[in-house]
Chain A
Amino acid sequence: MSENLFDRIGGNAAVDAAVDIFYKKVLSDDSINRFFETTNMDAQREKQKKFLTFAFGGPNDYSGKDMRTAHAGLDGLNEAHFSAVAGHLEATLEELGVPAAEVSEAMAIAASTHDDVLGL
């Protein structure tokens, strides 16, 4: 396979389309939106974009350590929250018509962050 997932999905343009849908889903979900409350929504949205680029296997500056540090301060973050965010990612990709195989691929990348995000 010559192209990676990021390019196959549509590169930066796909991330731009996805971040809007994804961020809105996250903010509308009362079970998790307290973690995303911030005075700087623009910065938060940029972070979502980085995360999506990462999930799409695209060029990014995310590392496991960053993931761990970034989530360390979030009080009460648990398995249910992780699943909720993963669910929104999956729904976002499906809404955008990303083929099932590519969705699974992105979900696998997202799942790889599990231990770092939950500090395990």
Chain B
Amino acid sequence: MSRQKSATDQITIYYEGTSVRCDPDKSVLDNLLDQNLDVNHCCKNGSCLTCLLKTDSEVDEKSRVPLKATLSELGYFLSCQQIPSDGMVIKSAASDDCFRKAVVTSMIKKSGHVSQVFLKPYGEFLYKPGQFINIKGPKDTVRSYSIASIPSDNVLELHIKEHQYGIVSPWLCADDRIGREIEISGPNGECFYLPENQDQSMLMIGTGTGLAPLLGIVRDSYSQNHRGKIELYFGAVDDPGLYLADQLRVLEKKYDNLTVHFGILKNGPINDTALKNHPDLKEWRVFLCGDPDMVKKTKTKAYLAGAALANIYVDAFEQAEINP
């Protein structure tokens, strides 16, 4: 195919039937947003999977790698990871392809503005504890939340931190949400327990509601008869932030090989404490969930402490831009 570039080297794509002149150095997502087109997005780095769009054109591998084969097959790609190509025809994510209904069954308010929210999706919902789902909130805003439950619970448990200027979290944690339907998609993510090498020691570090996926992973690993020890480090800014301390202490009593460590910020970052206690992570499996900066730094440190990259599982909680 021959194509002629304009003098300014701009290219044109077609989004929902509208032609959009694109800056070829920016992502499809940023180009659409620059034109004030309303596209769901959140982290813009390929983690949250909220910016899914659909095309029949060729896309780069990195725009598809994090997606499930079923979605790639349908033509979905991550618009934040894809550079536009001239003539690309793009459609918005058809709701019924990705989203399904679930009902909010109950909610428990915890300290530190965190709520445990329980959902029941309609129909069969297969997931691995530690994966995340996306929830569609007001104004079609989509946010990601990790799964703290295990399949035998028969409900999905999420830990939601209410953000003062948030769009989805205050809406989801409102008391009158109980009994009502919401739309969810997923599950996504690769931070979960694999039942192999079951005598392996596991180090888990979570900050804030980064505890949610870890709780799911701990319970899942025991339900699959993991025998190796688990050292779980749960850190928060202050005491109220350790919103699930009681439940963790109960869990610690229940499982002989589980040790839970708590830390608040004034005593130093929990990741530093953990790595000081476990300077040699050779042969360890490591899970890091929560603050993206903590996750990134600790991943490097865990690798330098001897953990193989393939043995390090991460779930970085990227924050959406908030406009108060």
B45 beta carbon closer than 8 Å to chain A: yes
The smallest beta-carbon distance between B80 and chain A, in angstroms, is 13
Query: Quick check: A24 and B309 within 8 Å, CB to CB?
Result: no
Query: Quick check: A24 and B303 within 8 Å, CB to CB?
Result: yes
Query: Quick check: A24 and B296 within 8 Å, CB to CB?
Result: no
Query: Quick check: A37 and B296 within 8 Å, CB to CB?
Result: yes
B304 beta carbon closer than 8 Å to chain A: yes
Nearest residue (CB) in B for A42 is B309
Point out which of B299, B300, B303 has the most chain A C-beta atoms below 10 A from its C-beta: B300
Give bound CA distance, A39 to B47, whole Å: 10
Query: Quick check: B45 and A39 within 8 Å, CB to CB?
Result: yes
Whether A27 touches B304, Cβ cut-off 8 Å, given contacts A41-B299, A41-B309, A42-B309, is yes
Q: Cβ of A24: which chain B residues have Cβ within 8 Å of it?
A: 303-304
B316 beta carbon closer than 8 Å to chain A: yes
Give bound CA distance, A94 to B293, whole Å: 34
- Give the total of B residues in contact with A, Cβ under 8 Å: 10
Q: Cβ of B309: which chain A residues have Cβ within 8 Å of it?
A: 41-42, 45
Q: Cβ of B45: which chain A residues have Cβ within 8 Å of it?
A: 39
Nearest residue (CB) in A for B316 is A39
- Give the total of A residues in contact with B, Cβ under 8 Å: 8
Q: Which of A46-97 contact B (CB under 8 A)?
A: none
B292 beta carbon closer than 8 Å to chain A: yes
Q: Cβ of A37: which chain B residues have Cβ within 8 Å of it?
A: 296, 300
Nearest residue (CB) in B for A28 is B304
Interface string of B45-81 (1 = CB under 8 A from A): 1010000000000000000000000000000000000
Nearest residue (CB) in B for A38 is B296
Query: Quick check: B296 and A27 within 8 Å, CB to CB?
Result: no
The smallest beta-carbon distance between B23 and chain A, in angstroms, is 17
Point out which of A27, A37, A41 has the most chain B C-beta atoms below 10 A from its C-beta: A41
Partner of A27, one of B47, B300, B316: B300
The smallest beta-carbon distance between B311 and chain A, in angstroms, is 12
Give bound CA distance, A6 to B92, whole Å: 48
Q: Cβ of B292: which chain A residues have Cβ within 8 Å of it?
A: 39
The smallest beta-carbon distance between A103 and chain B, in angstroms, is 24
Q: Cβ of A42: which chain B residues have Cβ within 8 Å of it?
A: 309
Give bound CA distance, A27 to B303, whole Å: 10
Give bound CA distance, A88 to B126, whole Å: 46
Give bound CA distance, A24 to B302, whole Å: 11
Query: Quick check: A41 and B303 within 8 Å, CB to CB?
Result: yes
Q: Which of A1-50 contact B (CB under 8 A)?
A: 24, 27-28, 37, 39, 41-42, 45
Interface string of B251-268 (1 = CB under 8 A from A): 000000000000000000
Give bound CA distance, A24 to B316, whole Å: 22
Q: Cβ of B303: which chain A residues have Cβ within 8 Å of it?
A: 24, 27, 41
Query: Quick check: B316 and A41 within 8 Å, CB to CB?
Result: no
Give bound CA distance, A39 to B45, whole Å: 9
Nearest residue (CB) in B for A43 is B62
Give bound CA distance, A42 to B310, whole Å: 8
**What are some 7 contacts across the A-B interface (CB < 8 A)?**
A24-B304, A27-B300, A28-B304, A39-B45, A39-B47, A39-B316, A41-B303
10 closest Cβ contacts across the A-B interface?
Answer: A39-B296, A42-B309, A27-B300, A24-B304, A27-B304, A41-B299, A28-B304, A41-B309, A45-B309, A39-B45
